[in-house]
Structure 1
Amino acid sequence: MDYLTTNRANWNARVPIHVDSDFYDVNGFKANGRSILRPFEVAEVGDVSGRRLAHLQCHLGLDTLSWARLGAEVTGLDFSDAAIDQARAIAADCGIPARFVTADVYDAVEALGETYDIVYTGLGALVWLPELTRWAEAVAALLKPGGFLYLSEFHPFPQVLDEETGTTVTYDYFDRGPHVWEEPHTYTGGRLIESHTSVQFQHSIGDVVSAVAAAGLRVDFLHEHDHTLFCRFATMSGDHTGYRLPEGAPRIPLMFSLRASAGLPRLSDEAS
């Protein structure tokens, strides 16, 4: 299966549903002037004032524009032309200067043609990539010396657990796929009229760290978090700020965040 064409059609079909959804609350984002980034992301990235930031796989660009509201000079990239059209329109309505580019993430270096202080990849992005080596190489090429990748993602471990209680190992952690899904609904609750098929790929924590290290980036930290942004298991409680397993239950990692830095050039490299 041509995963790229299939997934692009699927995400283009999702865009109008997502724009109108309560989940994204685009009108609220335009009106309130706030960032929708998670508090741990803002704390771990630090001050972005005046820094150039590229957001890969940016979808509607709300996270991208949230970094801009915190002071960054932002560029967003996504393979969905429908999503990029909406991102540009939202930026214009908000009066936020931002650049949005349509391209596959593997082609980001050529498509963007610039380097950045920060490359950001947000939640739910990596499952759409068949392998991470090319992704990490693209990230490294986009970074200025001394810049860093910041990745915020759903943890792969919960994927092996039963969906009711999250206590029984049901699926294979090392089954990387491809996994083909036929789903007439999107995670915002809306119904897709067409392009129901999507293709996803599972990556272990080891896959992520190894790809980043092989691209020449230095891992500064890998943090695992005991909460997530949706009701992953029926036993969870919470709201959009965080869902957790019942109090007293053993905790498991539900999200993770990683920061990895590009090295400064050596004197010998500069001389050459």
Structure 2
Amino acid sequence: MATPSDWRAVNRANWDERVPVHSAGAFYDLPGFVAGRDTLRGFEAAEVGDVDGRTLLHLQCHIGLDTLSWARHGAAVTGLDFSEPALETARELAARIGVTTARFVAADVYDAVHALDARTFDIVYTGMGALCWLPDINRWAQTAAALVAPGGFLYVAEFHPVADVLGEDGHTVEHDYFLRDPIVVDEPGSYAAPDVPTTETLTIEWRHGVGDVVSAVAAAGLRVEFLHEHDNGHFRLPAGLDVPLVYSLRARKPA
């Protein structure tokens, strides 16, 4: 049985196996993306603003759909992920849509500063479902802050942990919001294709409260400009239950 100390190897094996499942399935819809579908949510593009000509680093980019969507908006993009198979797919997609300047780097997020030769970026971006795979949110924030150029900013769009404590019925509270211990899950399939069998069934995750994330970002020396909560994610809760499903945060490094 996996232990929390194995988290990186366990999660990488799981994500490596997900790549062909995600590439072939309807959830990520690669043919639609190649045809021009933008995977960014409307509030992301609005809150980040004009990226034309700006450098953007996407941490934990998976197969690169959001990364390449930013490239379509005009950013000079770099994607970083610990799964080499995922990055191979991202590179293939970049070639298929004619984005020749995108760079994809294989590294654990905590090693990003070294892997990127201490380069900094106008925008450091992290998207949905990224932070739960990291045990140390303070170390993540310090790493992200080190990658932001002076005057640039970190932008986070993430699933809201309040929604995470609800059961499948959307009404029952089944999980502890304040749980900070590792969460070991053993189940086949993927959120994108739950009925597709997989052999790497284990994952190790962590729950990070909104306060934890904001405090970590502030402690890393970034100035929080806003924290917004949204009711639109990959799913909606049953009618009559209004809780935030997603939050977004922007924090700037002093010039």
TM-score range for the pair, normalised by the shorter chain length: over 0.9
Q: Indicate which of 181, 195, 198 corresponds to 2:185.
A: 181
**2:46 is matched with which residue?**
43
Aligned partner letter, 1:261 = R
Answer with 191-200 or 78-87: which moved more. 191-200
1:60 aligns with 2:63: yes
For the pair shown, the structure with the greater C-alpha radius of gyration is: 1
Aligned partner letter, 2:247 = F
Aligned residue runs from structure 1 range 93-104, under 5 A: 93-96=96-99, 97-104=101-108
TM superposition shift of 1:244: 4.5
Partners of 2:219 and 2:209 in 1: CA distance:
15
**1:107 is matched with which residue?**
111
**2:159 is matched with which residue?**
154
Measured against aligned partners, the alpha-carbon deviations of 1:100-124 in whole angstroms (never above 9, x if no partner) come to 0000000011111211000000000
**2:249 is matched with which residue?**
258
Partners of 1:55 and 1:222 in 2: CA distance:
19
Measured against aligned partners, the alpha-carbon deviations of 1:114-147 in whole angstroms (never above 9, x if no partner) come to 1100000000000000011111111111011000
For residue 10 of structure 1, give the secondary structure of its aligned residue in structure 2.
Answer: helix
Partners of 1:12 and 1:146 in 2: CA distance:
35
Partners of 2:177 and 2:36 in 1: CA distance:
40
Give yes or no for contact 1:57–1:76 (8 Å, CA) kept in 2.
yes
Aligned residue runs from structure 1 range 64-75, under 5 A: 64-75=67-78
TM-score by length of 1: 0.89
Q: Gaps spanning 5+ residues in structure 2: where?
A: none
Aligned partner letter, 1:146 = G
Moved over 4 A (4+): none
**1:132 is matched with which residue?**
137
**1:238 is matched with which residue?**
none
Give yes or no for contact 1:77–1:101 (8 Å, CA) kept in 2.
yes
**2:229 is matched with which residue?**
224
- Calculate the aligned-residue CA RMSD, in Å: 1.1
TM-score by length of 2: 0.94
Partners of 2:48 and 2:64 in 1: CA distance:
18
Partners of 1:29 and 1:168 in 2: CA distance:
36
TM superposition shift of 1:187: 1.0
Percent of residue pairs bearing the same amino acid type: 58
**2:148 is matched with which residue?**
143
The change in CA–CA distance for 1:79 and 1:192 in structure 2 (over 3 A counts) is: farther
TM superposition shift of 1:222: 0.3
Partners of 1:14 and 1:170 in 2: CA distance:
27
Give yes or no for contact 2:171–2:241 (8 Å, CA) kept in 1.
no
Aligned partner letter, 1:27 = P
For residue 61 of structure 2, give the secondary structure of its aligned residue in structure 1.
Answer: coil
**2:11 is matched with which residue?**
7
TM superposition shift of 1:192: 3.6
Aligned partner letter, 1:253 = P
Aligned partner letter, 2:38 = S
Measured against aligned partners, the alpha-carbon deviations of 1:44-68 in whole angstroms (never above 9, x if no partner) come to 0000000000000000000000000
TM superposition shift of 1:158: 1.4
1:18 aligns with 2:22: yes
Aligned residue runs from structure 1 range 154-173, under 5 A: 154-164=159-169, 166-173=170-177
Give yes or no for contact 1:13–1:192 (8 Å, CA) kept in 2.
no
Answer with 179-188 or 58-67: which moved more. 179-188
**2:32 is matched with which residue?**
28
**1:235 is matched with which residue?**
none
TM superposition shift of 1:263: 0.7
Aligned residue runs from structure 1 range 230-269, under 5 A: 230=235, 243-246=236-239, 249-264=240-255
